[in-house]
Structure 1
Amino acid sequence: MVSEVRVDEGPFGPEVRPEGTAVAQTVLYLHGDPRLAGTPQDALPTARELARLTGYAVVCARYRPRFPQALEDVWAAWEHCHAGGPATVAGKRLGGSLAAGLLLRLRDAGATLPTCAVLASPILDFTLDSPSLLLNAAADRTVDAEALPVRAATYAGTTPRDHPLLSPLHGNLHGLPPLQLHAAGTEVLLDDTLSFATRAAHSGVAVDMRIHEDSAAQGLRQLEATAQFLRAWCPDGAVMPRRG
């Protein structure tokens, strides 16, 4: 584990880099919050810890708050990240949607894919017709389920809600890199994760799905599990040792 990291302002957002160690890989990290909003700066605490745990550089990408402009920004940030060598992608909530959409677009374009990807509590279906949106509405204190349709509509704009790049759950998932997905069993978007993981596995994708008891448990366990997954799929084959 790296002890010190530094934060620089890069061309696509803040970049967190370990001090005094060679960087084997870059992580494109896509922020997201319960309001389907946020800024790259909001992701810096996560990015710092991820850089410490992995020894990788972490780029917190900026993106515009509308589709498809957001995906265009993420594509450009990805080009920046993988130009320097092996790279992967991780995203939370709306960032998880963009990470999955990026995978589909890269695959369809025959472009370089990330070595793996991590999606945390992603929104993967903008049709918003999953049962967990109702069943977990009272239990999920992190998302305003009543406001979610308005925020989703603002982001999606005129794009059809089942467009695969907007709602990756409706896309062809064959040929994607290994995936790790995290969700809380009490969250309103739980079914997005469950359905996506199932469809990806049926499409031959290596899937590591982690369903946590609640958001507090997810917060405690997710980062270390993410770091171990990223290290496991690093080109050098290194696996992060367990901490005692």
Structure 2
Amino acid sequence: MSRIRDAVMMAGRTVRRLPLPKAFYTHTLREARRPMPGGGVLKRHAVDVEMVDRTRCVWLDRHHASEGVIVHLHGGAFVSGPFAGDWAWLSHQVDARRCAGVLVDYRTAPDHQHPVALEDVEAVLVELSRSGVLGDAPWVLSAHNAGAGLALALVRRIRDGHGPLKDVPAPSLVVMMSPWADLELANTGMTETGRKDFPQERRMLGVAAQAYAGRTPLDDPDLSPVNAHLHELPPMHLSVGTSDIFLTDARVLRLQLEEAGPEVAYREVHGRLALLSGLRGGEEMGRLLGEQRAAIATALSPRR
């Protein structure tokens, strides 16, 4: 019986590691997309949808923009999003600060390849700046997963006065959760998480990276901000789960940021920091949300 059991277990492990059709990986993520917030968020906030050029933006409590704005970039590996957790996180922070929040629903692969997502968010920031929304009060840039990679690319381009971003004020704070900052996936095979491997998750990310990058090399700094100069950037709040595939990436990114000069607050939470199905509960997550609330409150305090 022990031989049979061992054979079955080995077969199960082998099957779990077998590659799946590429379409399966992206389809699974797309099925989880939530283009509008759920009922609980709709009840708590005034929700408005705005189109900026070709980019869809969803506001929570836009009438509070004079108290500050949180601009949120969703995760989804550049092929999907936003997810239920993006709405829950943004709602929580907007409630706590009594400010406005806007989720930028940038276009995703495979229909829209790099640099479309980056240009979508740039167009929104330029319009918000032109209309005075980002100039009359401080603002915070928040992001999860792939959105955090975009956020790093954006603040670097704002720093450099890149094209239309030359008149956009820098955010007072960048909040990044489990950032995907290296599309080459150089560190995702490392075992700091305590998990033996992430075979399907790595494959999914590899498929998504190629779908989004198109002909652009994956080491391009706008795709993989870990390869960029990260000096003279705004203060950062960086968090990651100890079972996240990006744990090693986040630790490397923290060191890079600290060496480059930006002020960095860093938090690791036990388990996974995923926003796919909603905001997870627990004491550690409560502490993280509290730290983020405090950092956002400081960043959105009136300028002197």
Counterpart in 2 of 1:95? 147
Give the C-alpha shift of residue 114 in structure 1: 0.8
Q: 1:81, 1:87 within 8 Å by CA — same for their partners in 2?
A: no
When normalised by structure 2's length, the TM-score is 0.69
Rg larger in structure: 2
CA deviations on 1:96-146 (whole Å, 9 max, x unpaired) are: 11111111111111542111101101100111111x4342484788x8223
- How is 1:25-40 mapped onto 2 (pairs within 5 angstroms)? 25-33=68-76, 37-39=80-82
**1:62-211 mapped onto 2 (5 Å cutoff):** 62-65=105-108, 66-82=113-129, 83-84=132-133, 85=136, 86-109=138-161, 110-111=166-167, 112-130=169-187, 132-135=188-191, 136=193, 138=195, 144-211=201-268
Following TM superposition, by how much is the alpha carbon of 1:236 offset from its aligned partner in structure 2, in angstroms?
Answer: 2.2
Q: What residue ranges of structure 2 are gaps of 5+ in the alignment?
A: 1-42, 273-279
Q: Which deviations, in whole Å up to 9, do the C-alpha atoms of 1:148-177 show, x marking residues without a partner?
A: 211111111111111111111110011100
Cα distance in structure 2, aligned partners of 1:212 and 1:232: 22
Asked if structure 1 preserves the Cα contact closer than 8 Å seen for 2:149 and 2:179, the reply is yes
Residues 25-84 of structure 1: CA deviation (Å, up to 9, x unaligned): 111100113685213776322222121011121100021113211000011122233431
CA distance in 1, matches of 2:114, 2:225: 13
Determine helix, strand or coil for the equivalent of 2:300.
Answer: coil
Counterpart secondary structure, 2:154 = helix
The structure with the largest helix share of the pair is 2
Of the candidates 15, 36, 41, which is equivalent to residue 59 of structure 2? 15
Distance 1:153 1:34 in 2: 11
Assess if the C-alpha contact under 8 Å between 2:237 and 2:292 holds in 1.
Answer: yes
Alpha-carbon distance in 1 for matches of 2:197, 2:96: 29
Tell me: CA distance 1:101–1:145, structure 2 relative to 1, closer, same or farther (3 Å). same
CA distance in 1, matches of 2:227, 2:68: 30
How far apart, CA to CA, are the structure 1 residues paired with 2:103 and 2:242? 27
Specify the SS of the correspondent of 2:105.
coil
1:51 matches 2:103: no
TM-score (norm 1): 0.84
Aligned length: 233
In structure 2, what is the equivalent of residue 6 of structure 1? 46
Counterpart contact for 1:40–1:60, Cα < 8 Å: no
3-state SS of paired residue (1:60): strand
Contact 1:97–1:167 (CA under 8 A) maintained in structure 2: yes
Cα RMSD between the aligned structures? 2.7
Inter-CA distance 74–158: structure 2 relative to 1 (3 Å threshold): same
Percentage of identical aligned residues? 25
1:234 equivalent in structure 2: 300
Deviation of 1:197 after TM superposition, in Å, equals 1.4
Question: 1-side partners of 2:230 and 2:114: how far apart?
Answer: 20
Aligned partner of 1:164: which letter?
P
| Amino acid paired to 2:256 | R
- Separation in 2 of the partners of 1:140 and 1:234? 40
1:137–1:72 distance in 2 versus 1, CA, 3 Å: farther
Q: Distance in 2 between matches of 1:27 and 1:124?
A: 21
Distance of 2:252 and 2:115 partners within structure 1: 23
Q: For 1:202 and 1:78, how far apart are their aligned partners in 2? A: 28
